Amino acid sequence: MYDNEKREHELIIRDGWLLILVPLVLGFGGWATLLFWACMPIAAWIVLAPFALLALFMLWFFRNPTRMPPVGSDNIVSGAEGTVRSVQYVTEDDGSPAAPVVKEFFPGRRAVRISTFLSPLHVHVNRLCVGGIVTFCEYRHGKHLLTMDERSSLYNQHSVIMVERPDGLRCLHKQITGPVVRRVVYWLTQGQPVRRGGILGMMKFGSRMDIWLPADRVEVCVAPGDPVVAGETVIAKVK
């Protein structure tokens, strides 16, 4: 069984347990010390409160709710939960900051990029937009520009995961880090078969995901401002 498949039934992603337990241990340790040793009950609760709130936030942040993709293999689902911020059509020679991505992954074609931004309260587990074979996956180091900056898709640290469907349609997933919290992870290997809506990885406080598709093969179904749910909301349909 592949790593991402093992995580499908984790209610809380295992990577988060350390960040959940450490605040609890520190908080209750301080609470017990002040309450039973120093006899300072008010101070004990004041110390416990922020640690408990941090642990609860981490518990919420690393949650992994079940997602069920809609029926129909031609439905391409969102890779992240959040809000669509932009839908942009790009060619390799249009001079935009995104053009190098098209040149590398969709040479000679027009591609569409659907960008989703996440808030700290959104589910940060990412899912696969299409089913098929992972033909390319790589983590790329880089800068930490604001994710609203168009250049962040190219220059920020990010992961690149390409999945190809049996009919040849290619879907590029890009998990992009931000200026403050800087880690994204994927749990896939090259050559691995994957299913639509299956777990891809997680943004550990990262805040943007770009999905790239060949513009001539799909019809986009979302617009800027639309809320989307990873693994469930249809963002495009195969023509």
What are the backbone angles phi and psi of residue 32, rounded to the nearest 5°?
-65, -40
Q: Give the C-alpha separation, 84 to 32, whole Å.
A: 46
Strand-pairing partners, residue 82, are 228
Q: Give the C-alpha separation, 140 to 182, whole Å.
A: 12
Strands laid side by side in the 218-220 sheet = 75-77, 234-238, 218-220
Strand-pairing partners, residue 110, are none
Burial 135-173 (b: 16+ CB within 10 A, else e): eebeeeeeeebebeebebbbbbbbbbbbbebeeebbbbb
Residue 61 neighbours by CB under 8 Å, 6+ apart:
16, 120, 124, 205
And the tokens for 133?
């074979």
Q: Give the C-alpha separation, 192 to 162, whole Å.
A: 11
Catalytic option among 78, 152, 153, 207: 207
Degrees to nearest 5, angle at CA 217 with 216 and 221: 100
Active site residue 207: yes
Active-site positions read 207
